[in-house]
Structure 1
Amino acid sequence: MAFDEMIDADSTPRSPYKTYNDWYSRQDRSHLIQKSRDAENIFRKTGITFAVYGHADSAEKLIPFDIIPRIISAKEWRKLALGIEQRVLALNAFLDDIYHKQEIIRAGRIPRELIERNEAFLPEMIGFKPPGGVYTHIVGTDIVRTGEDQFYVLEDNARTPSGVSYMLENRETMMQMFPELFHENKVRRVEDYPYQLRQSLSSLAPPGCKGKPRVAVLTPGIHNSAYYEHSFLADMMGVELVEGSDLRVMDGKVKMRTTRGYEAIDVLYRRVDDDFLDPLTFRPDSALGVPGIMDVYRAGNITIANAPGTGISDDKAIYSYMPEIVEFYTGRKPLLENVPTWRCSEPDSLKYVLDNLADLVVKEVHGSGGYGMLVGPTASKKERALFADKLRSRPSNYIAQPTLSLSTVPIMVKNGIAPRHVDLRPYVLVSDKVKIIPGGLTRVALKQGSLVVNSSQGGGTKDTWVLED
């Protein structure tokens, strides 16, 4: 039986939900249904969409939004925030180490080949320290819950974490429709995220920057699935949204084309993957990046956020070593645990996974978005057999985890409310300090019994309320 975050075993509301539940019990059902339609119309008019690659109708989809908030107490949030900060600091230390002294490898805590043969490891970053020593400027840490005080990190997103625009639009929509609830429930703010993001990025401008740093957001363009978010964040921060064709390297700087000629950029929040960032260094066929930008970066004349090469910390095989990584760099056990993980590259683990496919979730080490995975309990015998062949042919490409009983929160359905499984992606900003936004993106599996919350796989989102004491 999944842990219900709103209702206790004796059918009474849990503490964080008491005020909201009192309000909900007084509401007319038809009024809430209309509010739900209103929210959908707001999203449609605002253009809050995403694209799903590989689908015939992949142009644009409206992300489903549920009007019942996910509520987290101040005490629960403190536990999460401490664990997330510890983990993010350890990730940054790990990245600095593997591109410099590689002490964790020499200590035998992580296999050398897992780093050096990893496609996300960039030899071009060896020996280079980014401005401020920060690799992971923006992090999205995916959290799942299984009980009253049981939280686990499902994965780390330190390359180009997405979804923060949905967090902000969800909040704005809820405040527009239910303004009275925010005062009654003492909900902490997330609305200043764009300001916090710009401040954090600006604080890490390269040493030679004079005056107010010029920040820009680099997008692959309108056909990217997250283009809405790129343009949204640039607009909210009050900075330029640029494509590779708008930029060129001149006089040892990366400069942007403007009506006044080319002007230097100090900090580039890039939403372009490493491979496409610089055709002179990585993929020569890339038309998305800026030829020569890596030379400017290594010369210390621009800050790139997140730093090239951070994607290795998103690797799910690396994830399986995170308890060791956290302890190695912080000297303490992790405050937030990993989900137990089997590395299929290890023969004994592979045998266990093949023998227990019906009970496990198997993921590609470089996969994301819910693609390339097998959810054993809901897969057919044929699907499991085909996946077993993939495992045998490329075992190092996969990890496996138990099928967790994710916590549930209620969503609006035709006949009232019903529990659905959720996860949480809090957003973290790193500069000379770590700033964790009090909330994050709650993703919800809208199908009854489903554990897959990704919007690309039919999931939706909710506003996340973190309460004050």
Structure 2
Amino acid sequence: MLKETMDTNSSNENYTERFAVPIPIVEVQNQGNNIQDSKEINNIPASIHLNIDMQQAAQHLLKQLDSIFFNEMTDDHVLSPETAEKVEHWLSQHSIYELEKLNETAKAHFLYQGITFAVYGEKSGIDRTIPFDLIPRVIAKQQWNKIEAGCTQRIKALNLFLADIYHEQNILREGFIPELPVLSHEAYQPIMMNHSLNGNIYSQISGIDIVRDRHGEFFVLEDNLRTPSGVSYMIESRKMSQKLMPELCNQQVASIEQYPQLLREILAENSRVTTPTIVVLTPGRYNSAYYEHSFLAREMGVPLVTSRDLFVENDKVYVKTIRGRQQIDVIYRRLDDGFLDPLCFRPDSTLGVAGLMSAYLSGNVVIANAPGTGVADDKSIYPYVDQMIAYYLNEKPILSNVPTYQCRDADALDYVLANLDQLVVKEAQGSGGYGMLIGPKATEQEIDLFRIKLMASPSAYIAQPTLDLSVAPTLTSQGIAERHIDLRPFILTSPERIEIVPGGLTRVAMQQGSLVVNSSQGGGIKDTWVIDEYSI
């Protein structure tokens, strides 16, 4: 299973050509429109003014986006007719040319704000502006309620699992989860054994990636418990929607603007200090997510610091200021465990703070998320989350996992090797969509190379069946077309509460013929609207 993957058949039909839907022309009249751009839109020169029945066009356009994939906008039982009609009506007021101009406005805003992301392997350069698609992904409130409940249940179980494996390890001793993949994992930090956290909260900020299959069923694809990114893009997408379509993005869309304030409150609640001093620790401006680090620090009203701004004395962490030193109580870190403290982890790290772990283990500072949290979000641990929910909560999972084959198991390996052309194979510790095999789209040579890798190191890989991901209408250079999407809700956890802002980051495959939604590989973003349809 892969968020950038769809089933293929014997047809070599181009995906974009198949599903891009041109605007139907009802009547053509030359009214002297002053459009100078000679760019063609759906093979029609923009220099010719087209008097189009846009209401009919928009309805035709959305209804013709019909494929084997689940469509988040038009499929039955997704949105009420009233909600779909509101989006159709808004689209009817704008030609494709006008929609493209609105997207250009968004691009210019993102560029001005410095909202960029590293795109590895792209010849045009290292950083680029995040592509924004102005057609929102809309989720009905009753559907969101299931997502919210499922994420809440899941993060409770994951935090209980982390508290257990760093203390009594009951779930391992009782055989519900095998010891080897947990205790031998590189993200497992023995230094965290028997270190008690406030409320046993290890992952204060989490992102859970959710997809929908062709039947409309939600699945959890991945848990992100270390340093999940993308929340700034969620907020900026909403700001752009409010600017570009204020008449559509109104009070009926649930607010997400409270996230920075909620984040600050949650971080404070994880400290035992009444009024804690909080900082955001960044690797620096050359990090691909630096914009987000600075954005969150600014929105929370807390300092953005690097390792050069901090020092440890007598197991306490201080920040250097023009008024002297100030003790730090909470560090929202945006760097990996290995770089946190050169005295404890990588000795060559210049991004961390010497002595930080000693201060942390002494209870004098909170690090969010906790070191060692990554063991719970590894792909080799992912298949056991259902067992965690049953063991710790005595509940059935609200959100399903994708069936997963553990290649370290001999029987599973035999099956995977025999069906490589039908499966997606991933590195257990991989991320960002790299280092994987997409069997249905791979060449024989690629499959043979992966077969060798699997046989040499089976425990380093997992495999999943291909899952048809849902699609949403997306503006492309060829018209409005279906594009695959996923959803990352952000979960904030303290000993007192769990908060999830209604929505999340919708990632979308933007490039022609591409199935990649990862920002690091050129994917784009959509605003995510949670709408209480009973209020419409």
TM bin (shorter chain): over 0.9
Cα distance in 2, alignment partners of residues 400 and 60 from structure 1: 31
Per-residue deviation, 1:123: 0.1
Structural mapping, 1:153-164, within 5 Å: 153-164=220-231
> Secondary structure of the residue that 1:317 maps to in structure 2?
coil
Read off the aligned partner of 1:410 and give its amino acid letter.
Answer: P
Cα distance in 2, alignment partners of residues 9 and 280 from structure 1: 57
- Distance 1:169-1:193 versus aligned 2 partners, 3 A rule: same
> Secondary structure of the residue that 1:7 maps to in structure 2?
coil
> Do structure 1's residue 463 and structure 2's residue 530 form an aligned pair?
no
What is the match of residue 136 of structure 1? 203
What is the match of residue 457 of structure 2? 394
> Secondary structure of the residue that 2:434 maps to in structure 1?
coil
What is the match of residue 364 of structure 2? 301
- For each residue in 1:357-384, what CA deviation from the matched residue of structure 2 results, as whole angstroms up to 9, or x when unmatched? 1111111111111111111112111111
What is the match of residue 359 of structure 1? 422
> Do structure 1's residue 199 and structure 2's residue 262 form an aligned pair?
no
Per-residue deviation, 1:27: 2.7
Per-residue deviation, 1:449: 5.5
Contact 2:379/2:429, CA 8 A, preserved across alignment: yes
Contact 1:6/1:14, CA 8 A, preserved across alignment: no
Per-residue deviation, 1:31: 2.0
Unpaired runs of 5+ residues, structure 1, are: none
2:284 to 221, 244, 253: 221
Per-residue deviation, 1:356: 1.1
Cα distance in 1, alignment partners of residues 79 and 241 from structure 2: 25
Q: Which shifted more, 241-250 or 24-33?
A: 24-33
Cα distance in 2, alignment partners of residues 401 and 451 from structure 1: 17
Contact 1:8/1:14, CA 8 A, preserved across alignment: no
> Do structure 1's residue 332 and structure 2's residue 398 form an aligned pair?
no
Structural mapping, 1:30-109, within 5 Å: 30-53=97-120, 58-109=125-176
Cα distance in 1, alignment partners of residues 90 and 465 from structure 2: 38
Per-residue deviation, 1:5: 1.1
Contact 2:119/2:522, CA 8 A, preserved across alignment: no
What is the match of residue 438 of structure 1? 502
Read off the aligned partner of 1:436 and give its amino acid letter.
Answer: I
Unpaired runs of 5+ residues, structure 2, are: 1-67
Contact 2:506/2:528, CA 8 A, preserved across alignment: yes
Cα distance in 2, alignment partners of residues 270 and 262 from structure 1: 20
- Distance 1:155-1:10 versus aligned 2 partners, 3 A rule: closer
Read off the aligned partner of 1:442 and give its amino acid letter.
Answer: T
User: What is the number of residues matched between the two proteins?
Assistant: 465
Per-residue deviation, 1:23: 2.1
Per-residue deviation, 1:402: 0.9
- Distance 1:149-1:213 versus aligned 2 partners, 3 A rule: same
Cα distance in 2, alignment partners of residues 87 and 114 from structure 1: 20
What is the match of residue 381 of structure 1? 444
Contact 2:416/2:423, CA 8 A, preserved across alignment: yes
- Distance 1:428-1:15 versus aligned 2 partners, 3 A rule: farther
Read off the aligned partner of 1:403 and give its amino acid letter.
Answer: T
- For each residue in 1:338-364, what CA deviation from the matched residue of structure 2 results, as whole angstroms up to 9, or x when unmatched? 011101111111111111111111111
Contact 1:7/1:13, CA 8 A, preserved across alignment: no
Contact 1:218/1:269, CA 8 A, preserved across alignment: yes
1:258 to 321, 326, 330: 321
State which structure, 1 or 2, has the greater radius of gyration over its C-alpha atoms.
2
Read off the aligned partner of 2:243 and give its amino acid letter.
Answer: Q
> Secondary structure of the residue that 2:249 maps to in structure 1?
helix
What is the match of residue 91 of structure 2? 24
Cα distance in 1, alignment partners of residues 83 and 375 from structure 2: 37
What is the match of residue 239 of structure 1? 302
- Distance 1:54-1:278 versus aligned 2 partners, 3 A rule: farther
What is the match of residue 426 of structure 1? 489
What is the match of residue 234 of structure 2? 167
1:188 to 254, 257, 260: 254
Cα distance in 2, alignment partners of residues 55 and 183 from structure 1: 38
Contact 2:241/2:249, CA 8 A, preserved across alignment: no
Instruction: Compute the TM-score of the two structures, normalised by the length of structure 2.
Output: 0.84
Per-residue deviation, 1:22: 2.5
What is the match of residue 192 of structure 2? 125
Give the % identical residues.
Answer: 52
- For each residue in 1:432-452, what CA deviation from the matched residue of structure 2 results, as whole angstroms up to 9, or x when unmatched? 211011111100112456432
